[in-house]
Amino acid sequence: MTDGSAIKSITACQAWSWRGHPAIEARVVTKNGALGVAQVQAGTSVGQHEVQFIHDGGPRWGGLGVQKGVAMVKETIAPALIGMDATRQREIDHRMIEMDGTPNKAKLGGNCVAAVSAAVLKAAAASVRLPLYQYIGGPNACVMPVPGVLAVLGPKRYGGGERGGEKPTYSFYAHGFGSFFDASQGCWQVRQAFRKVLQEKKGLNTFRIDRLFIDQEGVFQHDRELWGLMTDAIERSGNAGRIGIQVDCAAGCYYDKKTGLYKGLFSREDKTRDDLMALYRDAVKQFPFVILEDPLDEDDFEGHAILTKELGVQIVGDDLFTTNPERVQHGIDVGAANCVLLKVNQVGSITEAFDMVDLAYRNGYAVMPCNSRGEGADIADYAVGLKTGHMREGGLDDATTRLLEIEAELGSRAKFLGRKGFKP
């Protein structure tokens, strides 16, 4: 260990997240002055197999305050890690795992462990003066991800999905381009075209800069109408065959375990598993879908395996896998999905998350980084460093500028895999 990369201090505070509720922010400083800052926030679709977060409860901040987590970092985690070498990520993460001693990070809090672990990673990279993506992936970290751009969130447009929150969400994915720069331009083009299509066909003018909340009931009777308008937007933008559709179904949010029915997903009507699977088969035949995420309940490995075998598109497990190596291994064993969504704070630490990535790659699964839990622009460095080939969104959001910087820095070494960045 060099003195420079030794951890000098670890602190934390309650920060404000883009989701509109508190996040825990950890700050790690090494002896040579390198700083790593990382945030972790609660998600919209939270799988029951994820690690347990520490929240304050009570009336303030809707119970989502993290002052208890801040105290956990300052009073328990920090004293145990100060003096350790920030570049020894695995040793640091294992120290926290041993201190916690529970299967779901219930003692230290998954959000506390994840925030400190990610901050250590960033501090280590800064301490050796390497960009984060290169620190993660070495000299071969030069693959730029295929980006997407959010289009529509939530089920209110057809008056369904009382338990669905903002799900399902839809995005456009710009895969048929020669560079990330051009793909990002494609994202902009299709979003502009989509705005015009919605204005002309549905009289909708409530488009935010990054997404559309359609909160008037009755605008659509079924999302099949929306799929048609998204396809129209792709064609109008001049990108037919170069841009596809992604949907995060988060089907578990709609699943009623007592009746075995999916209530209010894609339309008001209740649906059986067979109904949903038939709908997916039709959707990929009729529309340019390239990615389906969590198309069935989070414990339905068998159903996910059937869809993976039949549909010929990328099937992503988020709530299905929760970045958990044991659940990913089970998916591999039965052939469920062909891609794992990467959310570090679902499993708790950088080491565990990256071990999951290695497991996925060894078994032919793709990995799709997602910044919905507070990673922000850092997700760009994760995507390039891990050579994932694609990511959740990234075409016109906080990560985009960082990706453009990385592509410019890499110059002729930058590679854009396009459709090959997906599975199958």
Residues of the domain holding 205: 137-421
So what's the pLDDT on residue 45? 52
125 and 141 co-located in one domain: no
109 and 153 co-located in one domain: no
223 and 292 co-located in one domain: yes
The phi and psi torsions of 172 (rounded to 5 degrees) equal -95, 140
Nearest-angstrom CA–CA distance, 386 and 381: 8
146 and 259 co-located in one domain: yes
| Residue 60: count of CB within 10 angstroms of its CB | 11
Q: Cα separations (Å) of 354 from 57, 93, 146, 169, 344?
A: 31, 12, 20, 26, 8
So what's the pLDDT on residue 424? 83
| Domain end residue (candidates: 109, 129, 149) | 129
Q: Cα separations (Å) of 342 from 126, 200, 325, 350, 388?
A: 23, 37, 11, 11, 10
273 and 400 co-located in one domain: yes
Q: For residue 298, which of 332, 360, 255, 335 has the smallest C-alpha distance?
A: 255
CATH at residue 310: 3.20.20.120
User: Is 343 in the active site?
Assistant: yes
Q: How many domains does the chain have?
A: 2
224 and 314 co-located in one domain: yes
- Helix-strand-coil split of the chain, %, nearest 5: 45, 20, 35
17 and 160 co-located in one domain: no
150 and 201 co-located in one domain: yes
Residues 22, 15 contacting (CB under 8 angstroms): yes
Nearest-angstrom CA–CA distance, 80 and 91: 12
285 burial (CB, 10 Å; 0-12 / 13-18 / 19+) is: exposed
So what's the pLDDT on residue 211? 58
CATH at residue 8: 3.30.390.10
Tokens of 256: 């009623």
Q: Is 289 helix (H, G, I), strand (E, B) or coil?
A: strand
Mean pLDDT by 10 residues, the chain (424 residues): 87 89 95 97 69 94 94 98 98 98 95 96 98 97 97 78 76 98 97 92 70 71 94 98 97 94 93 98 98 97 98 96 94 98 89 96 97 85 98 94 98 97 90
Of 105, 343, 387, 423, the active-site residue reads: 343
185 and 103 co-located in one domain: no
| Domain end residue (candidates: 75, 102, 129) | 129
| Domain end residue (candidates: 76, 103, 129) | 129
In the chain, DSSP finds a helix count (H) and a strand count (E) of 14, 16
10 and 79 co-located in one domain: yes
User: Is 162 in the active site?
Assistant: no
Q: Kindly report each contact of residues 57-62 with a partner whose C-beta sits within 8 Å and lies 24 or more positions away, as own/partner.
A: 61/21, 61/22, 62/21
Nearest-angstrom CA–CA distance, 258 and 411: 55
Of 162, 200, 217, 302, the active-site residue reads: 217
62 and 158 co-located in one domain: no
Residues 172, 230 contacting (CB under 8 angstroms): yes
289 and 156 co-located in one domain: yes
